[in-house]
Structures are given as C-alpha cells and as structure tokens.
Amino acid sequence: MRAGCAMPLDLLLPEFIRPLLKSRQLGKVIHHFQLTSSTNDVARQLAEQGAPEGVVVLAEEQTCGRGRAGRAWHSERSAGIYASILLRPAIKPREAPTLTLAAAVAVAEAIEQACGLHADIKWPNDLLLGGRKCCGILSEMHAETDKIRSVVVGIGINVNHSGFPAELGQLATSLRIECKRVCSRIDLLCALLERFERLYEDLQQGRRAAVLHRWVARSSFAVGKSLTLDLGSGQQIEGKTAGLSETGHLKIELADGRVEEFLSGEIVAWR
Amino acid sequence: MNIKEIKELIEIVSQHGITDLEVERSGVKVRIRKEGPLAAGSSQAQPGSAFAAAQTHGSAHAIEGPRVFVPAEPGPKNDEEGLAQVRSPIVGTFYRAPNPDAEPFVKTGDSVEPGQVLCIIEAMKLMNEIEAEVNGEVVKIYAENGEPVEFGQALFGIRLSKKL
C-alpha cells in the first residue's frame, strides 16, 4: 500500500464484515456511511420507516456524534467504531434501561477478545482503560406507553486514535494508545455484535440477573468504590457503591449509612 | 373500560357469589360490591391516574375480599379537569430540554400535535423521548426539570383541541 493512499481494507464495509460475522440477526443488514451526522439519527429514521430489528448503521466519520446531555462525541475519520444498533425488544419500556448495561458488557468482552485489554465499566456504561474513557454508549428509545417500538443503541469506541484534542487529553484514550498497536476494527465490531446478541437474548428471555452479574464482575465501580455522582441540576452526592439493584440501578451508601438507589446521573469523580 | 365490560363484571360478581370485586384498567377503577342478598351490585367508576392505581396496587393486601387486578396502563388519560395526561413509561429523570443550555421542548400554552416531542425521560443513559399522542394545548406540566419521576407518573396535562 502506497503512503498517502486510502486504505480500503480498513473500512467497515458490509462486504468485509459479512463473511466474518457469526451473529444470527444483529448486523445482517448494515448501512455504511463515509460521513453522516450521527449514526443514531440515521438508525432512528430507519426505525421510523419500519426497518427490522438487528439493522446496524456504521459511519467512518460523524459530524454530529453526540453523547449524554447533547455533548459532542469526537469522531475522527476511520479511527473509531461509530455504530448504532436497531432493536425492537419484546420487553416492557421500564425494563429497557438494562439494555445499556448489557451493551457495556458486550463492548468490554469484545475489547478483551479482540485486543486483549481489560476495560473497566463506569456505571452505567462508560468503558475506561487506565481511568480514561475509550467507549461511550448512548441509547434512545421510542416507546408507546406499554410497548417499545424501537431502541437504538449508539456505541462509540476509540479504537485507533493516536491522540485527542487538548480538551479531551486527560479524559479520553484509545485501544491503540493502550495496547500500543493498531487494532482491527472489523474483528472488534464482529465480536461486539456477536456478544451483544447473546446478552440481548438473555434479557429478552428473562435472564436479567445473569446479565447484571456479568456487569458486576467486570466493573470496579460495582462495590466499594468511593465516588461523586452528579445528578444534574447542580446536585451532587458522595458515597460508596454497594452493588446494583435487580433493575441495574446503582446502590450507594451515603455518609449517614443509608443506602439509596440511583437510576441516572453521572459519576464525575472516584477514588 | 366500557359499559359492556362493566356489565360483564357485574355478571361475574352475581354468578360466582363474589362480594367485592375491584378492577383497574386504563386508569379507570371499578369496584363492584354485593351489599346484601337482594342487591344486584353497585358499581362506581372513578377516573384515577395510573400513579394512584399503582399506589392502590401496592396496598392491595390491606383490602379484604376477592378482587381482580388488571394493571393500569400509563398513557394519556382524562383527569377530572378533562385534560389528557401524558405519563411516564419508565422510572427515570425528567428533562424538559434536549440539553442543559437548550430551550424546553414545550411550555405551558404551547400547541402540540401527535408525534411532537414533549420531554425526555432518562434512565441509565437510555433516553426516552416522550411524544404527544393528541392535538391540543399544554395546560399543565406536573414534573420538575431534572427530577426523578415514577413509572406511570403524570408529566403533562393537555387540553384536547375541539377540531378532529
């Protein structure tokens, strides 16, 4: 390959992925974009148009990749995996948040399989290497009052980024920075889809406890972590983690010894 | 719940010697009680919120007599003021805007139409955009931005448009 020439074999093209992907449904249909606004937005549009479960949207680059509370996701071209998975789960809307924990477990296990790195999970679903973020997951649900129409699970993984903008320097890392070699995005994506599919089946068949158990086994944040949780609206609480509730909420022991469950918020500091 | 269903419930009560039957469906609670040997049964239908229904459900063991519970479905239901209520399908945190610096999706007095986003409920980084299911005007906003909301809790009260 000549220097300066595009490397087509490194693109996440459906024809490269399909022969390697051993999932049953996730990724059987892949929409690949060189450039799009946000894979979640595309997947939501496809969902509204009636696209079936398992459709995956991939982009080499996003102009409006986003995270929680409208924050931008740094989407360097062809360096990361920017993927959105369309699901139509037959579970109640109120059971759906566990999907986001399952997605985090799937990514962590896939990173270990494809790159040999052991990522930590910061509740609910950020992945950390050496305390810095390498993967973020933002899911969006479209539900009727008691029935889910669709869930789009958006996953951004920093795979082969060689560096980050100064404002992210201390917060972000990539698999390449951590394992000091270029990682195969295709191998990682296939492992992710295969593992997420099995976890998703577990949830659909009522094996939520098994999924939560795997989350707890992977996360140093599950038990005994002293941390600060930002609840938004300027409110922060401090305490020590005491496991997950049966619905995946984070249990935190507060200074006065009471244990409370939290279902949203962001861990902003930890020791 | 319609009249036909209530009649069927009364039949069940009279045929099976049940003295007290309570049914909740779609936010409407019906209680049928057999007062004495001659009474065919009395019924009272009262509009109730799914939230209230959930509370009743929680204390069901405290009430005596056989009863059948049909879980209340959260969704737009009419409260005593004739407002369609939009309820939360999940336990989560209520957000009126897509991000902290943005304008709210809707304010009181705004007209809304089916499919229009009213708010976001977040739980564990799963964002659930709640849409209007009716044409109307936002009259009440029951929940506070950034506050936790319960499953089935009323979020908005919408006065239906006269026009279809």
- B99-127 pLDDT, tens digit per residue, is 888 899 999 999 999 989 999 999 999 99
A82 phi, psi to nearest 5 deg: -115, 100
> So what's the pLDDT on residue A146?
81
| Cβ-contact A160, A183 below 8 angstroms | yes
Burial (CB count <10 Å: 0-12, 13-18, 19+), residue B51: buried
CB atoms within 10 A of CB A65: 24
Give the nearest chain A residue to B126 (CA atoms): A139
Report the SS3 class of residue A109.
Answer: helix
Tell me the residues of A at the B interface, defined by beta carbons under 8 Å apart: 68-71, 93-94, 96-101, 124-125, 137-146, 151, 231-233, 235, 247-249, 263-265
Angle at B78 between CA B22 and CA A94, to 5 degrees: 70
What stretch(es) of chain A map to CATH 3.30.930.10?
A: 7-218
Give A239→chain B minimum CA distance, Å: 18
A123 pLDDT higher than 50: yes
Q: How far is CA B92 from the centre of its chain?
A: 17
B124 touches chain A (CB under 8 A): yes
Task: Select from A70, A100, A144 the Cβ nearest to the Cβ of B126.
Answer: A100
Contact yes or no for B74 and A145 at CB 8 A: yes
Q: Mutate which of B96, B124, B127, B128 to disrupt the A interface (most A C-beta within 10 Å)?
A: B124
Of the two residues A171 and A117, the one the predictor is more confident about is A117
The CATH H-level (homologous superfamily) assignment of domain A7-218 is: Bira Bifunctional Protein; Domain 2 (3.30.930.10)
The region, left, alpha or beta by phi > 0 then psi within -120 to 50, assigned to residue B115 is left
Residues of B (15-74) whose Cβ lies below 8 Å from A? 73-74
What span, in angstroms and rounded, lies between the C-alpha atoms of A136 and A224?
Answer: 23
Contact yes or no for B146 and A93 at CB 8 A: no
Encoded amino acid at A31, one letter:
H
A110 pLDDT higher than 70: yes
**Owner of token pair 């039949």:** B11
pLDDT tens profile B85-98: 999 999 999 999 98
pLDDT tens profile B18-77: 556 666 665 566 666 655 433 333 333 333 333 333 333 333 333 333 334 444 444 445
Q: Mutate which of B125, B130, B150 to disrupt the A interface (most A C-beta within 10 Å)?
A: B125
CATH number of the B71-160 domain? 2.40.50.100
- For residue B21, give the DSSP letter: E
What stretch(es) of chain A map to CATH 2.30.30.100?
A: 223-270
Q: Which of A39-43, A103-107, B144-148 is predicted with the least confidence, judged by mean pLDDT?
A: B144-148
Encoded amino acid at A206, one letter:
G
- For residue B37, give the DSSP letter: S
Task: Select from B73, B125, B147 the Cβ nearest to the Cβ of A137.
Answer: B125
Buried b (16+ CB within 10 A) or exposed e, A73-97: bbbbebbbbbbbbbbbbebebbbbb
Contact yes or no for B74 and A146 at CB 8 A: yes
What stretch(es) of chain B map to CATH 2.40.50.100?
A: 71-160
What span, in angstroms and rounded, lies between the C-alpha atoms of B93 and A231?
Answer: 9
Of the two residues B64 and A170, the one the predictor is more confident about is A170
Helix (H) or strand (E) holding A48: helix A39-48
> So what's the pLDDT on residue B163?
57
For residue B2, what are the contacts with CB-CB under 8 A and spacing of at least 6? none
A77 DSSP β-pair partners: none
B149 pLDDT higher than 90: yes
Task: Select from A69, A141, A146 the Cβ nearest to the Cβ of B126.
Answer: A141
> So what's the pLDDT on residue A73?
75
> So what's the pLDDT on residue B63?
35
| Cβ-contact B14, B32 below 8 angstroms | no
Could you tell me the CA-to-CA distances from A233 to A123, A184, A230, B93 in Å, in that order? 19, 41, 9, 11
Contact yes or no for A70 and B98 at CB 8 A: yes
Architecture of domain A223-270: Roll (2.30)
Give A177→chain B minimum CA distance, Å: 27
Contact yes or no for A264 and B125 at CB 8 A: yes
> So what's the pLDDT on residue B39?
34
Task: Select from B73, B87, B127 the Cβ nearest to the Cβ of A139.
Answer: B127
The region, left, alpha or beta by phi > 0 then psi within -120 to 50, assigned to residue B160 is beta
> So what's the pLDDT on residue B44?
38
Q: What is the DSSP string of A166-223?
A: GGGTTTB--HHHHHTS---HHHHHHHHHHHHHHHHHHHHTT-HHHHHHHHHHH-TTSE
In the A/B pair of chains, how many CB contacts fall below 8 A? Answer: 93
Please, how many CA atoms are within 13 Å of residue B53, restricted to the half-sphere of its CB?
Answer: 28
pLDDT tens profile A8-66: 557 999 999 999 999 999 999 999 999 999 999 999 999 999 999 999 999 999 988 87
Report the SS3 class of residue A67.
Answer: coil
> So what's the pLDDT on residue B29?
64
Residues of A in contact with B128 (CB under 8 A): 93, 96, 140-143
Contact yes or no for B128 and A137 at CB 8 A: no
